[in-house]
Amino acid sequence: MLDLAGTTLDADDRELLRHPAVGGVILFTRNFESPEQLTQLNSSIHALREPHLLIGVDQEGGRVQRFRQGFTRLPPAGRFGQLYATDPVRARQACESVAWLMAAELRSVGVDFSFAPVLDLDRGISQVIGDRALGTKVQMIGDLATVWTEGVRQAGMAAVGKHFPGHGGVSVDSHAELPSDMRRLVDLEMEDLVPFRRLIDQGLEAIMPAHVLYPNIDPRPAGFSPVWLKDILRERLGFQGVIFSDDLNMGAASAAGDYPQRARAAAAAGCDMLLICNNRPAAIEIVGAFEEHRDPAANLRLLRMHGRKHIERLRLHEQPEWRRAVHQVAQFEALKTLDLGLDDPTDPETVG
């Protein structure tokens, strides 16, 4: 899964996207001018292949929202947790409604899925996670993530839980360097893994592992670790969905070697789809290295990520669900002015 430089496909893009080792495209703010332009871009991507290439985006809300003009500005996930602390029922209703809104708006322009929800526990340690997390308590995150996934499914979208097994216990930003979490597996099982286990039991479609090292469990970062992805995630937790690698261009991923080595290590560990962003030469290297790679089981799992229930954008505002969701967003704005930070340098144009 790779990125594009602009708002339309050029000849080089089309040639690369037709390569059999390419399975999808991740979009960023630079790929967006308007909903109309985005719809045309996505249509041109989908027209290249059958079954069509997957199209994903980070549209979590708050400071991680790639598409803005013409889309509803979504509150950060942490706002739901704040509301949950005083009114759990209302928080769940708002979370489900806003998740539906996010997904419906993306489906109306042809995006298949968003890399959300964040299932990390906000421990007040990780600035890169912070209010991207749904809350500070395990029960809170599990409850809110459950209704979040229900909301996106109602709009025809699969959910992607991240960052397995939990990024909230480290202060280092994995976009820049490799964080190390010294906790034992039993400690993670008591807290950080609980929301993942709960959503897996409810049929979570996809998971993205963290570029974080847990040396007391395995000497390899989670996204490159068969212990984490095969033994714990697949076998112990019974996860049957898609495993997306986090961006192989991130600083933390360099622990696995050069770009083809990173890709091979992630695939050998159990990742079904490998993300390489903001580095076209590296993407070409990886695609070349995977010329002969075939994984029928991964391809079957990835079929679940295709979007359903396309709603015409011009008719979206007629939906009663849309009016309810926009009302929920307006209430959050009334309670506290949204500090979206959409151009915040702490949120680089990378997945994760």
Q: Which residues are catalytically annotated? A: 175, 246
SS3 content of the chain, % helix, strand, coil (to 5): 45, 10, 45
The H or E element containing residue 322 is: helix 320-335
Dig out the tokens for 95 from the structure. 């979370």
Determine the residue type at 15: E
Residues 7-33, buried b or exposed e (16+ Cβ, 10 A)?
A: eebeeebeebbeeebbbbbbbbeebbe
At 25, give phi and psi (nearest 5°): -130, 135
| 330: Cα separation from own chain's centroid | 25
SS3 call for 291? coil
The alpha carbon dihedral of 232, 235, 241, 245 has a sign of positive
Distance CA 210, CA 271 (A): 12
Distance CA 185, CA 170 (A): 15
Distance CA 253, CA 117 (A): 22
At 253, give phi and psi (nearest 5°): -75, -15
SS3 call for 88? helix
Pairing of strands 59-61, 64-65: antiparallel
At 244, give phi and psi (nearest 5°): -95, 135
Using the structure block, give the residue that is written with the tokens 């928080």.
91
Asked if 248 and 274 count as a contact pair (C-beta separation under 8 A), the reply is yes
